[in-house]
Amino acid sequence: MEHTQTLSVETQPIARQPKDYKSDLEPIWCPGCGDYGVLNALFKALSQLNIDPDRTVLVSGIGCSSRLPGFVVTYGFHGVHGRILPVATGIKLANPELTVIGVGGDGDGYSIGMEHFPHACRRNIDITYLVMNNQIYGLTKGQTSPTSSPMFVTKTTPFGNVEGTLNPLQIAIVSGATFVARGYSSMPNQLARIIAEAIRHPGFALVDVFSPCVTFNKVQTFDYYKGRVYEVPETHDPTDKFAALKLAEEEERFPIGILYRVERPTLDEQVAMIKQRAHTDNPSVEHLFRRFQ
């Protein structure tokens, strides 16, 4: 990702407009769906960084949100449900020059995808992971997700949700993610800025975005968030792990912005280091045969 390291967001001469990242496929989301805001913010962030679509891969799972890659004119990998992070890891390890961005839903990422989430965090693989968190399963028509609120009523929880609500930000922080942010679909400029910062960040960057499902989630609506979201205070020190954990300990009001940001070697850097340490001139299998003679 040379360009993100040598250029700063502010001084970058904008060569590509947000619309240049739009593909011919029309989004299939319901009118009003929060995911439109996320898509637009992503367009903006990509254009702010002037990212080359031919050197970018969006990786998604299954869900309404996971259809996003088709709407962007970059390379895309629309895999199976819950496996964004392994696929993204494989892509980045295969070609560290690529900008790799995972995009998907809360069900995809925090329910079935939980297998991979803490591991991607601890590996600090240099990818961005954008979760459109609508606290519900949209595509399957409205069931609870791990981020659904207590006593949330759906067709599978007619008596109310009795499972605790997961806090993905805190899990990311304690698992070793080096960039943890929260965005809101209705704050597009703010969100674009966060996404751009996440892409620029060397290491695993989680951006969890409140992106209301207007069709099935009648609790966490745009109205609900109005007055409940606020920007992360300027005084917050994003390198302070416990301060970040505290900020993420949301109850009634939700901080939007970058909660946590530190640096440590990324997986791809460490893998490159291993290659260097292992280096031999003209490696040959012929040579390896000697061990078996």
Ligand X SMILES: Cc1ncc(C[n+]2csc(CCOP(=O)(O)OP(=O)(O)O)c2C)c(N)n1
Q: 2: helix, coil or strand?
A: helix
Which stretch in 63-71, 161-169, 170-178, 183-191 sits in contact with ligand X by CB under 6 A? 63-71
**Within 13 Å and on the Cβ side, how many CA atoms surround 33?**
23
CA gap 54, 222 in Å, rounded:
35
Name beta bridge partners: 105: 132
CA gap 146, 239 in Å, rounded:
27
Among 68, 132, 171, 195, binds ligand X (CB under 6 A): 132
- Residue 247 binding a copy of itself, by CB under 8 A: no
Site for ligand SF4 in 143-202 (CB under 6 A): none
Residue 88 interface partner, choices other proteins, ligand SF4, a copy of itself, none, CB cut-off 5-8 Å depending on type:
other proteins
**Nearer Cβ to other proteins (118/245):** 118
Which stretch in 1-9, 29-37, 81-89, 121-129 sits in contact with ligand SF4 by CB under 6 A? 29-37
**Nearer Cβ to ligand SF4 (109/255):** 109
- Residue 138 binding ligand SF4, by CB under 6 A: yes
The least distance separating ligand SF4 from the CB of residue 31, rounded to whole angstroms, comes to: 8
The least distance separating a copy of itself from the CB of residue 171, rounded to whole angstroms, comes to: 6
Among 4, 21, 29, 185, binds ligand SF4 (CB under 6 A): 29
Asked if 81 and 65 touch (Cβ cutoff 8 Å), the reply is no
- Residue 175 binding a copy of itself, by CB under 8 A: yes
Residue 135 interface partner, choices a copy of itself, other proteins, ligand X, none, CB cut-off 5-8 Å depending on type:
none
Contacts of 285 (CB under 8 A, 6+ apart): none
Among 16, 215, 228, 240, binds ligand SF4 (CB under 6 A): 215
CA nearest 78: which of 95, 57, 94, 93?
57
Token pair of 132 as six digits: 């459109």
Residues 195-234 as x/- pattern, contact with ligand X by CB under 6 A: ------------------x---------------------
Position 165, amino acid: T
CA gap 280, 242 in Å, rounded:
44
Asked if 87 and 53 touch (Cβ cutoff 8 Å), the reply is no
Contacts of 36 (CB under 8 A, 6+ apart): 27, 29, 185
